[in-house]
């Protein structure tokens, strides 16, 4: 099986030993507590689940700046985005060396992790701007990722953590949320050797379905892991339970049995385009995938990134050998009226735009909201029905 990033074995930060976990819970009740923001909480979940292997906790200031500048920590680990615990107010922890981290996304703010504080440092406004521009490629405050990052605070609380729960993800998505450890184990149980990972934060239409099948055929894969983001999105995106239902229906009806794992992970979307694509590749390697599909404007938003910047970054900025996972580079995929099947547009040079069934996201949402199913060449009717039911419920 493919090795995790940066180590021979996966080292999740979740405390699986029940005695140790109970001891930490008792200790945490007496520790100063920091209520995390959602970004820091999702970082803790990803660290606990093994997705951010081999990190042992939150980065310090030097590592964060180094990652932004040259995609390596000060110790030489290849990494594309800062993994931080930023705070606006430190009055509850002051100069404490050991603290409890509490979850902002669950009622009652339960204990999420225990942390050894190695440093509390402050980023200047210029340093925040530098990290923003390097991570997102822009400092435009209307970019949703930039706006979120700017709201987190300038204090950097760094050090190793021990994770004690996975926030709301296990309770809200018991059939879908999986740790990198669990996905690796399931891949081994299936006996799969070549595994394609597909990232989604949206429902999957015909083009996405066929893209997974194309990738599997091209690399001779044993299976595909559909890996959906379950954390926070931007306003207007379709909520995770609806996406989950739509994807499950599509897989049930239109994929061969025992070729698909439907899973999800607990992370807030960054919308960081190319840098986030590299981060996505790292944690897909950590979960055991050998190949990762990256299409047009992967992890992008608006017009901030070029259509294929998330692919070319692997040529321009990822050093040879830094990652073991292979990237499957996809073009825009659509139904061809000429060929009566879904194709990648680059593979149909004799086509004009009119030869494809193309619908904008805005148009699709408008149709679904009006109870009109997109054409079956664009969306499977059973999937469209689930989405129409959701939009109808929103209008009621």
Cβ atoms of 169 and 230 closer than 8 Å: yes
Give me the helix-helix angle, 361-369 and 381-395, nearest 10°.
70
201, 258, 346, 392: the active-site residue? 201
202, 243, 340, 380: the active-site residue? 202
* Polymer length of the chain: 396
How far is 294 from 237, CA to CA, in rounded Å? 20
Q: SS3 string of 271-324?
A: CCCHHHHHHHHHHHHHCCCCEEEECCCCCCCCCCCCCCHHHHHHHHCCCCCCCC
Helix (H, G, I), strand (E, B) or coil at 53: coil
Question: Nearest 5 degrees, angle CA 228-CA 234-CA 240?
Answer: 35
Nearest Cα to Cα of residue 186 among 213, 224, 218, 152 = 224
C-alpha distance from residue 288 to each of 5, 57, 192, 221 (Å): 10, 21, 10, 13
Residues 6 or more apart whose CB falls under 8 angstroms from that of 14 comprise: 48, 49, 50, 163, 164, 166, 179
Cβ atoms of 128 and 135 closer than 8 Å: no
Q: Nearest 5°: phi and psi at 293?
A: -80, 125
How far is 16 from 190, CA to CA, in rounded Å? 24
How far is 359 from 377, CA to CA, in rounded Å? 11
Strand 57-58, strand 119-122: pairing: unpaired
201 is catalytic: yes
Category of 246 on φ-ψ map: left (φ > 0), alpha (ψ -120 to 50) or beta: alpha
Catalytic residue IDs? 201-202
């Amino acid at each position: 099986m493919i090795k995790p990033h940066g180590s021979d074995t996966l080292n999740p930060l979740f405390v699986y030993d029940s005695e140790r976990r109970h001891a930490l819970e008792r200790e945490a009740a007496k520790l100063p507590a920091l209520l995390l923001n959602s970004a820091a909480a999702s970082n803790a979940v990803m660290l606990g689940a093994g997705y951010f292997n081999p990190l042992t906790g939150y980065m310090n200031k030097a590592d964060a700046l180094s990652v932004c500048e040259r995609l390596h920590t000060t110790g030489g680990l290849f990494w594309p985005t800062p993994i931080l615990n930023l705070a606006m107010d430190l009055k509850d922890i002051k100069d404490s060396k050991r603290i409890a981290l509490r979850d902002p996304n669950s009622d009652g703010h339960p204990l999420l992790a225990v942390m050894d504080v190695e440093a509390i440092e402050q980023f200047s406004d210029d340093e925040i701007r530098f990290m923003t521009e390097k991570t997102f490629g822009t400092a435009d405050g209307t970019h949703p990722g930039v706006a979120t990052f700017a709201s987190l605070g300038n204090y950097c609380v760094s050090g190793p953590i021990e994770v004690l729960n996975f926030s709301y993800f296990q309770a809200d998505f018991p059939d879908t949320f999986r740790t990198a450890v669990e996905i690796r184990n399931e891949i081994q149980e299936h006996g799969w050797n070549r595994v394609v990972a597909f990232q989604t934060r949206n429902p999957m239409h015909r083009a996405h379905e066929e893209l997974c099948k194309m990738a599997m055929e091209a690399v001779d894969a044993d299976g595909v892991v559909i890996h959906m983001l379950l954390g926070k999105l931007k306003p207007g995106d379709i909520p995770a339970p609806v996406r989950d239902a739509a994807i499950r229906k599509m897989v049930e009806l239109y994929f061969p049995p025992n070729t698909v794992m439907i899973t999800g992970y607990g992370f807030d979307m960054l919308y960081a385009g190319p840098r986030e694509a590299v981060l996505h590749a790292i944690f897909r390697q950590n979960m055991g995938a050998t190949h990762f599909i990256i299409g047009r404007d992967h992890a992008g938003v608006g017009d901030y990134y070029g259509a294929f910047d998330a692919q070319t970054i692997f040529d321009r900025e990822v050093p040879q050998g830094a990652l073991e996972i292979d990237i499957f580079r996809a073009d825009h995929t659509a139904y061809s009226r000429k060929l009566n099947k879904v194709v990648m547009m680059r593979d149909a040079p004799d086509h004009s735009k009119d030869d494809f069934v193309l619908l904008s996201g805005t148009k699709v949402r408008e149709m679904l909201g009006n109870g009109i199913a997109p054409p079956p060449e664009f969306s499977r009717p059973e999937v469209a029905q689930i989405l129409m039911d959701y939009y109808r419920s929103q209008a009621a």
